[in-house]
Amino acid sequence: MLTSNQEEPKQEVVWQPQEGSQELFLRCPGAEVLYEGTRGSCKTDGLVMDFAQHTGQGYGLNWRGILFRLTFPQLEDIISRTKKWFSRIFPEPQAIYNAGNHKWVWATGEELLLRYMQNPDDYWNYHGHEYPWIGWEELTNWPTPDCYDRMKACNRSSHSGMPRKYRSNCNPYGVGHHWVKGRFVRNPKAFYEEVTDENSPQGRIRIRGTIHENKILMKADPAYIETLKSISDPNLKAAWLDGSWDIVAGGALSDKWRYNDHILTPFEIPRSWYINRSFDWGSSKPFSVGWWAESDGTEAKLADGTHRTFPPKTLFRIAEWYGWSGEPNKGCNMSAVAIAKKIKEIEKHFPFTVREGPAGTDLFDAAKGVCLSDDMAKAGVSWHKADTSPGSRKTGLERLRQFLEAASEVPMERSGIFIFSNCRHFIRTVPILPRDTKKLDDVDTDAEDHVYDETRYRLMDTTHGARMVDVGGI
């Protein structure tokens, strides 16, 4: 019992959220929330503490969470971070870390599992489990949303009144930059944003954090901002220093792609230019059709009324059709015949003749008694085999890089490549393609590379031979 002259002992505050985004993230009631922003903005601590704040609240065994990283080596940082805080906030026996199972167990029954997930099939390790809290550290490390989406089936609880939380954090940039941006970002400059669409009836929330909110880091290491400013890659610097989503991320083309140089407003194609198409087949994954015009050196009148002569063999992507479900890297399961019929319908409205072009060799595979190229030819759309010889992937990427580089040169003396502004799926997917981490001269085939593949087929194609004069323009 305290007398009037005694002061109540002060309880040590081990950790508390910093004002701003971190505090907002922990209070946010939304079901699906992404905490993103610059480097050094306290996102990892925020994610870990979002789970911890609900321990000791009477949920006991029913409050169960799982936190994912892409790989086990990456998971080690999370393990160290939780040990740093939990061992002080919840000293034994309040909470114990089980190193063999990589999980924290509280004396009141709560559990937090620390796991890694590289493959969507890893979901089956958790099929049937219940986790009212699921977290993803560095979400842009995952090349596709497959792992993220599958685990949503486990975000549940049989105990009424439980919070349901699906939480993630990340910086812009990385192999998953595009799909994460597509899910959560509509206004890149907003610091708080709610996104609602047909795939998220409850809505998604994005919260932006900045390094300037991290008063602890700024006091301990004030030179850290200068370190970020010294990054030579302009896209990486914009992502990590400014938290910008308006970047070309990933690596394979980021040093060559220039939006202002490579995107053109559609203009009338000179009558003598050669027009054909290219195709990358897909069913459960998207298919992609690209229509191309090839310059023969004849002067073109651009959309702004100016005239310009492009070097012969300069390529222009003038139209496209992308067979997706509306979700990144998800196909629409159309048959080859249905695709061919739609291509014929689209080309009826073109004021020029479209020639046969290259398609991936899987279209010509008759090993199972079905040759998709024959089916499409019967419907009136013919293709020839693209160059998929050994080394062609490496050569195709290098050729695209060379064509992009040439298109940026002033004066332009080499064959280049330009993209019409209506080709939104090229613009959406190709510039951000990352390199394969094991084959640095190739793109990551787990990324959304279907438009890239048919672009590569066209760049490598030499089979169309003599030019034929077409009538009309676009």
| Tens of pLDDT, residues 312-361 | 999 999 999 999 998 888 999 999 999 999 999 999 999 999 999 999 99
275 pLDDT higher than 90: yes
Chain region(s) in the chain for CATH 3.40.50.300: 21-242
| pLDDT score for 446 | 85
State mean pLDDT over 103-117: 97
Instruction: Grade residue 249 by pLDDT with cuts at 50, 70 and 90.
Output: low
54 pLDDT higher than 50: yes
| pLDDT score for 465 | 46
The whole-angstrom separation of Cα 412 and Cα 60 is: 68
| pLDDT score for 435 | 82
* Whether CATH 3.30.420.280 fits 259-460: yes
| pLDDT score for 1 | 35
Q: In terms of pLDDT, which residue wins out, 366 or 203?
A: 203
470 pLDDT higher than 50: no
The whole-angstrom separation of Cα 307 and Cα 101 is: 68
Sort residue 323 into left (φ over 0), alpha (ψ -120 to 50) or beta: beta
Question: Distance from first CA to last CA of the chain, Å, rounded?
Answer: 89
Cβ-proximal residues to 113 (8 Å cutoff; 6+ apart), any chain:
64, 65, 66, 67, 101, 102, 103
User: Domain 21-242, what fold?
Assistant: Rossmann fold (3.40.50)
| Tens of pLDDT, residues 227-243 | 999 998 887 899 999 99
Chain region(s) in the chain for CATH 3.30.420.280: 259-460
Q: Which of 187-201, 305-319, 450-464 shows the highest mean pLDDT?
A: 305-319
